[in-house]
Amino acid sequence: MKLLIVEDEPELTASLLSHLQDQQYVCEVATTFAEAEEKLLLFEYDCVLLDLTLPGGDGLELLRQLQARQQADGVIITSSRDALDDRITGLRLGADDYLPKPFHLSELSARIAALVRRRRFNGSNLVQAGPLTVDVLARQATVRGQPLLLTRSEYDLLLLLLANQNRVVMKSTIAEHISGDMAEHFNSYEPVYTHVKNLKRKLSELGIGDSLRTVYGLGYRFELPSA
Amino acid sequence: MKPARPVKLLLRTLRAQLVYAGLVSLAGTFVFYFVLQQLYYADVDEALLLRREEVVRKLPLVPRAQDLALWMKLDRDLVIRPLGREPAGPERIAGELRYDSLAKEMEPYRTLTTTVRYHGHPYRLVLRSSLVESEDLLAAIGVAQAGLLVVLLGGLVLVQQRVARRLWRPFYETLAQLRRFRLDQRVPVELTPSPTLEFQELNAALTDLLTQHRRLYHSQKEFTENAAHEMQTPLAVQHTKLELLAQQPNLGEAQAQHIGALLDVTQRLARLNRSLLLLARLENQQFTADEEVDLRRVLTTIVKQLQEEIEAAQLNVQLAADHPVWLRGNSTLLEILVSNLVVNAIRHNQTGGAIAVTLTPQRLTVANTGRAAALPAGREFARFRKDALSAPGGVGLGLAISRQICDTCGLQLAYDFEVPNWHRFTVSWT
């Protein structure tokens, strides 16, 4: 799985590299417009993380070039330019997703995973994690063939956790993942606790409740027992 | 005093022209008639004087005084009689009304009265000239003249109007272009060129002004975006570093709690930054409000999205929105507005409380139970308003943003409090 990170802030690039390489992605970095332009011409990537404000040019211009070559669908725009028209222009130019800064690394993983699934398998696929299977197209999960009946929020939560296996997913990430922008208005994590509790109960009923663990007050980790 | 209704420029000149033309036609007709009459009288008077000459010359031909009666019988417009005791007086010509036995009505006459000598005696000589036909002629001439004047002046006014309309056309075109002008339009405005100097200057001045405004607008927008970038990137670095820190193996509980707190604060900072930027962009009018938005759809979507929070707080929500309500505005902004109001009603509620949302074709009302005191009057929508009873954790910009959105979209936002503990926000439009 090959990724190109187009980002001019070195510390942010370092964080992204550390996080994504941990998840077995092969990452390359471009820090300027020219560098990104060249790399995008020479190589092919499964996914491009594209910052819009770059030294030497506008990220949207790169997107236009990609669109002209019909390669824009692998792009996730990671911009601090939260200007509405940028978002609309970006998506109209064929970008797959728009993730405004500051974003959560776990959320980014979930978006990349979703993008890669869509591109690689033409949208029909299964996410496998030990005895757990998720049919993303049908939005159905099974454990050893037994159906795992989840609400929409619980299903979203499970996919987020699966995209970040063996890593802590922050409570705040879960809150935003489930309720989107609405999360910012509520400082209580009550809905998160409720969804996690319910998901854990349902997983326990099918014998894999142990895989969902609480990490102090920080968040949760999905980890299959190494057996 | 009520200001007078504005009048179109062309109509104003037309009015003035019509008043002038009317006055001139009216006065002109009378003056013309009078002058004509004077001329004619002078003519008649001259004829009377000539006749007097003739009579004086012919008088010696009349042999006897009795024959004068015959003459008078033959000429109805002639009277000649002995002066008697009448004072002679000077010769004079005057107008008079006499009964005409033929026409059987009073008719105007010019009458010359003078004294002549006949056979050595003073005689009164009166010569008359009827004005009957001349009056009719004069009237006819007057009417014709008046008609001519009306046609002439009316024609002038019409021609003037046509010319004026053509002359002012560049002005109206410029006006229409100004109306269509939007600060955020991509292409610079191009006013239709005019051959008239004044309009050329007007267009040049306007083009300058608009270009300057557009430049200012864009630089402001750029600044806002730059500010966003400069703040959001360090925040993004901070957030990702903390996330990476949290992934460290052998993380102690105390460390985890510190990281958790830092993450929360970072996120709050990011939200605060986003809210401030939204406010700045609203104030810079960086949104255009020209979409048709179904408010009911927005409302129901948002209430549905907030269902979990509503249930968590055990609130009883009454949503009365029976019909779609279409509103002209910016869909993103209206979504933010509605969600701010509903979120506000949830956050400042009490467990087991109630929310009443009513949407009518004229207004949207969001009311909630809450603390038993009204918000401080005049500061309901102030930024960062905090007091002892404020809900913890809020940024304090939600209502300020709502107010600003209403301003941008041309809506009115009002707050009122109803004893014992109902807080009501009303968005209205006309």
Strands A146-148 and A140-143: antiparallel
B9-148 matches B291-428 in fold:
no
CA distance A69 to chain B (A): 26
Predicted local distance difference test score (pLDDT) of residue A20: 92
Each residue of B348-395: pLDDT tens digit? Answer: 888 889 999 999 999 999 999 988 888 887 777 777 766 555 555 566
Contacts of A100 in chain B (CB under 8 A): 232
Q: Do A216 and B256 touch (CB under 8 A)?
A: yes
CA distance A135 to chain B (A): 25
The pLDDT-based confidence of A124 (bands split at 50, 70, 90) is low
Strands (E), chain A: 2-6, 26-30, 47-50, 53-54, 57-58, 75-79, 97-100, 126-129, 132-135, 140-143, 146-148, 168-170, 212-215, 219-222
Instruction: For chain A, give the percent of residues with pLDDT over 90.
Output: 33
> Is omega for the bond preceding B420 within 30 degrees of 0, making it cis?
yes
Lowest average pLDDT, out of B268-277, B301-310, B337-346, B412-421, goes to B268-277
CB A101 within 8 A of CB A80: yes
Predicted local distance difference test score (pLDDT) of residue B239: 92
Higher pLDDT, B400 or B223: B400
Q: What is the mean pLDDT of residues B169-186?
A: 82
- Mean pLDDT over each residue of chain B, to the nearest integer: 84
* Interface contact B253, partner A, CB < 8 A: yes
Contacts of B251 in chain A (CB under 8 A): 215-216
What is the interface pTM, i.e. ipTM, of the complex?
0.86
Nearest CA in chain A to B230: A80
The pLDDT-based confidence of B2 (bands split at 50, 70, 90) is low
Predicted local distance difference test score (pLDDT) of residue A1: 80
- On whether the A126-222 domain is CATH 3.90.110.10, my answer is no
Helices (H), B247-327: 253-283, 295-305, 307-312
* Interface contact B240, partner A, CB < 8 A: yes
Above 80 in pLDDT, residue B219? yes
Instruction: Give the CA-trace dihedral at A189, A193, A194, A200, to 10 degrees.
Output: 160
Higher pLDDT, B220 or B299: B299
Contacts of B394 in chain A (CB under 8 A): 187
Each residue of A199-227: pLDDT tens digit? Answer: 999 999 988 888 999 988 889 999 887 65
Delimit the domains of chain B by residue range: 9-148, 197-283, 291-428
Predicted local distance difference test score (pLDDT) of residue A12: 92
Residues written for chain B: 430
CB A136 within 8 A of CB A162: no
Q: Which two tokens stand for residue B387?
A: 């007091």
Q: Please provide the CATH number assigned to the domain covering B9-148.
A: 3.30.450
- HSE-up (13 A, CA, CB side) for residue B341: 28
Q: Please provide the CATH number assigned to the domain covering A2-103.
A: 3.40.50.2300
Q: What is the mean pLDDT of residues A138-159?
A: 89
Phi, psi of B90 (to 5 degrees): -80, 165
Q: Nearest Cβ partner of B233 from A9, A19, A194? A: A9
Predicted local distance difference test score (pLDDT) of residue B1: 53
d(CA B228, CA A100): 11
Q: Do B309 and A12 touch (CB under 8 A)?
A: no
Class of B291-428 in CATH: alpha beta
Start and end residues for every CATH 1.10.10.10 domain found in chain A: 126-222
Q: What is the mean pLDDT of residues B245-255?
A: 88
* Interface contact B274, partner A, CB < 8 A: yes
Q: Which two tokens stand for residue B412?
A: 């009115």
